[in-house]
Amino acid sequence: MVGLSLGEQHFIQGGIAQDLRCDGRKRLTYRPIYVETGIIPQANGSARVRIGATDVIASVKAELGKPSFMQPDKGKVLIHIDCSSTAEPAFEGRGGEELSSELSTALQRCLLGAKSGAGAGIDRSSLVVVEGKICWDLYIDGLVVSSDGNLLDALSAAIKAALSNTGIPSVKVTAGASSDEQPEVDISDEEFLQFDTSGVPVIVTLTKIGRHYIVDATPEEESQMNSAVSISINRKGHICGITKRGGAGLDPSVVLDMVSVAKYVSEQLMNKLDSEIASAEAEDGS
Amino acid sequence: MAAKGGTTPATYSPCQTTGKNKPPLFKEDWIRPDARGFHQCRPAFFRTGAVNAASGSAYAEFGNTKVIVSVFGPRESKKAMMYSDSGRLNCNVSYTTFATPVRGQGSDHKEYSSMLHKALEGAIILESFPKTTVDVFALVLESSGSDLPVVISCASLALADAGILMYDLVASVSVSCLGKNLIIDPISEEENCQDGSIMITCMPSRYEITQLTVTGEWSTPKINEGMQLCLDACAKLAKIMRTCLKESASDAQDDSS
């Protein structure tokens, strides 16, 4: 919890109204983003993202499993976020649980799309090995190592980077062609399939303070927010999910305005992120 | 009936009715399973005072979705909680084991409690009951699509029945996108094969959105259309809720005189 005096509160609010924030940024400027990939050797893909002092790690693990009865032609993707008590003493024990589940729900909403699988950032049909029998289960785990505001955007960036770092072993079906038997498979140790991440959206959180909204809020700024809207947007400029936080009401026209601002911001963020991921991959490979 | 043919299995499996029958989405003349128009809500029924022991309660029925919400308090916050000048809101949404076609499936919706909390907290004047807590317990008796919007609307009615000060009633409506069509107030069958959904919770007289979730891929004009559809429906729903409150208030007056 951030405790601010009345003077400090006015200072933050006044600065935002004049488009000059405490750290010298404008309202729609992000802090520098640093990406590292391939940091966890045991995982199929991993990435660490730092924005200011916010530090998050995402790992992707792929395991062979059985597709669900309802959707035999799709693999499964599970997202779980863990808020470590190293980030904040308040996360100790069950303290971080509420925030963890809030972040997981928001990320699931933004990345997995609707029930039918349409509009998903991750194409689940590409995870199927044998329809109705074998598929890849993708476990995406996020860990908040240090929290300095704007966790959701950082996590979505980390997941995007981890997915582009993910190699899924290629699989050969060796036996079990008959219809009711579970087929046997051979997992290759050398051949990996790169994951297509062009459709994975980024999340832009707009925090409304006073009459204006800002991106990439620090904890001090977050403590002053009326409400925050997290909008996930993909390369095509389509909206893939919206989550609202904070209790205060918003006028519908403000929401639509936020969507168009988020669209503009997301383009820059995505370009920045892509170049960061590319340079991180190059460094990882060398 | 199932025992009739030699080839048909004699066992009864409730899954068959929920999973496989995808409506033919791409036909032009597709009609909804309950023969409603695309922009037509299910008939809504509200009744306050469903639970005697609670400070306020309400029962809501939208088609086959049936929920009951009771409100307790304001009562003293737990001793372990720190002093606060504004009241606290505690929400919990639970499902009966028989609410869903497959027994006990209701535990899939763990996030509903926090979503209900977020939808309501902006509407309640929490400063009016310092140091105390209001508990909102919702129970879904029967789940048949659009559960959360029904729970939220019903909970705001129960809060009003309990006499908790609010800025406005909270109404909630969801819209599903199936193929090219936007359909309002979807039932479970439609929710299971939707390509996207918007849920809006708003205070219609103040024209403010308190909670908003969007899933699936949407273009800006489509999201515009969906939001407008939801907001219009919310305004109409709030009118129904208001008449229900007025009726129960006049009934109470008649009884006392």
Confidence grade of residue A175 (pLDDT, cut at 50, 70, 90) = low
Amino acid at A24: G
What CA–CA distances, in Å, run from A171 to A18, A122, A175? 57, 19, 12
Whether chain B has a CB inside 8 Å of the CB on A266: the answer is no
Confidence grade of residue A130 (pLDDT, cut at 50, 70, 90) = confident
Domains and their CATH numbers in chain B: 44-77+85-250 (3.30.230.70)
Judge whether A244 and B213 are in contact, CB under 8 Å. Answer: yes
Looking at residue A178, its pLDDT comes to 58
For chain B, the 3-state helix, strand and coil shares in percent, each to the nearest 5, are: 30, 30, 40
**What would the pLDDT profile of B158-181 be if each residue is shown by its tens digit?**
999 999 999 999 999 999 988 888
Query: Does B17 or B61 have the greater pLDDT score?
Result: B61
Whether chain A has a CB inside 8 Å of the CB on B122: the answer is yes
Looking at residue B175, its pLDDT comes to 92
**Residue A101 parent element (H or E):** helix A97-112
Whether chain A has a CB inside 8 Å of the CB on B58: the answer is no
The percent of residues above 90 in pLDDT, for chain B, comes to: 33
Minimum Cα–Cα distance from B227: chain A residue: A252
**What would the pLDDT profile of B187-200 be if each residue is shown by its tens digit?**
888 888 888 899 99
Q: What residues of A are in contact with residue B114 (Cβ under 8 Å)?
A: 98, 101-102
Q: B216 vs A240: CB contact, 8 Å cut-off?
A: yes
Minimum Cα–Cα distance from A106: chain B residue: B213
Whether chain B has a CB inside 8 Å of the CB on A249: the answer is yes
How far is the C-alpha of A239 from the C-alpha of A219, rounded, in Å?
Answer: 26
Judge whether B184 and B173 are in contact, CB under 8 Å. Answer: yes
How far is the C-alpha of B126 from the C-alpha of B113, rounded, in Å?
Answer: 18
Contacts of A103 (CB under 8 A, 6+ apart): A81, A83, A142, A151, A152, A155
The DSSP symbol for B126 reads G
Judge whether A30 and A215 are in contact, CB under 8 Å. Answer: yes
Looking at residue A286, its pLDDT comes to 61
**What would the pLDDT profile of B61-99 be if each residue is shown by its tens digit?**
998 899 999 999 788 888 777 778 888 899 999 998 888
Q: What residues of A are in contact with residue B216 (Cβ under 8 Å)?
A: 113-114, 118-119, 240-241
Looking at residue B6, its pLDDT comes to 44
Q: A114 vs B196: CB contact, 8 Å cut-off?
A: yes
Query: Does A83 or B108 have the greater pLDDT score?
Result: A83
The overall average pLDDT reported for chain A is 85
Whether chain B has a CB inside 8 Å of the CB on A244: the answer is yes
Name the most confidently modeled range: A18-27, A130-139, A242-251, B71-80: A18-27
A55 burial class (0-12, 13-18, 19+ CB within 10 angstroms)?
buried
A-B contacts (CB, under 8 Å)? 111
Minimum Cα–Cα distance from A233: chain B residue: B217
List, as ranges, residues 56-75 from A with C-beta within 8 Å of B.
Answer: 69-70
- What's the order of all strands across the beta sheet hosting B65-76? B44-48, B56-62, B65-76, B132-142, B88-95
ω into A72 cis (within 30 of 0)? no
How far is the C-alpha of A46 from the C-alpha of B241, rounded, in Å?
Answer: 50
In chain B, what is the straight-line distance between the N-terminal and C-terminal CA atoms, in Å? 57
Strand-pairing partners, residue B92, are: B137
Q: What is the CATH number of domain A6-285?
A: 3.30.230.70
Judge whether B123 and B168 are in contact, CB under 8 Å. Answer: yes
**What would the pLDDT profile of A221-241 be if each residue is shown by its tens digit?**
888 888 899 999 888 888 888
Q: A113 vs B122: CB contact, 8 Å cut-off?
A: no
Q: What residues of B are in contact with residue A227 (Cβ under 8 Å)?
A: 122
CB atoms within 10 A of CB A17: 13
Whether chain A has a CB inside 8 Å of the CB on B232: the answer is no
Amino acid at A99: L
Considering only the beta carbons, identify the residue of B196, B210, B223 that sits closest to A247: B210
**What would the pLDDT profile of A177-232 be if each residue is shown by its tens digit?**
556 666 677 777 777 778 778 888 899 999 998 888 899 888 888 888 888 999 99
Model confidence at B18: pLDDT above 60: no
ipTM given for this complex? 0.83
Supply angle C-alpha A151, A152, A156, rounded to 5. 120
Q: How far is A163 from chain B (nearest CA, A)?
A: 20
Q: B217 vs A115: CB contact, 8 Å cut-off?
A: no
Q: Which of B43-52, B104-113, B176-185 has the least mean pLDDT?
A: B104-113
Query: Mean per-residue pLDDT for A257-275?
Result: 90
**What would the pLDDT profile of B219-240 be if each residue is shown by its tens digit?**
888 888 999 999 999 999 999 9
B146 burial class (0-12, 13-18, 19+ CB within 10 angstroms)?
buried
Amino acid at A35: V
Comparing CA positions, the residue from A157, A249, A253 lying closest to residue B122 is A249
Q: Which of A69-73, A165-169, B28-32, B183-187 has the least mean pLDDT?
A: B28-32
Looking at residue B150, its pLDDT comes to 94
Looking at residue B20, its pLDDT comes to 44
Q: B218 vs A244: CB contact, 8 Å cut-off?
A: no
Residue with tokens 């090219």: B180
pTM for the whole structure: 0.85
The DSSP symbol for B125 reads -
Whether chain B has a CB inside 8 Å of the CB on A219: the answer is no
Confidence grade of residue B19 (pLDDT, cut at 50, 70, 90) = very low
**What would the pLDDT profile of A61-86 be if each residue is shown by its tens digit?**
988 888 877 777 888 888 999 888 88
Contacts of A242 (CB under 8 A, 6+ apart): A229, A230, A231, A232, A259, B212, B213, B214
Considering only the beta carbons, identify the residue of B193, B212, B223 that sits closest to A115: B193
Query: Mean per-residue pLDDT for B47-59?
Result: 90
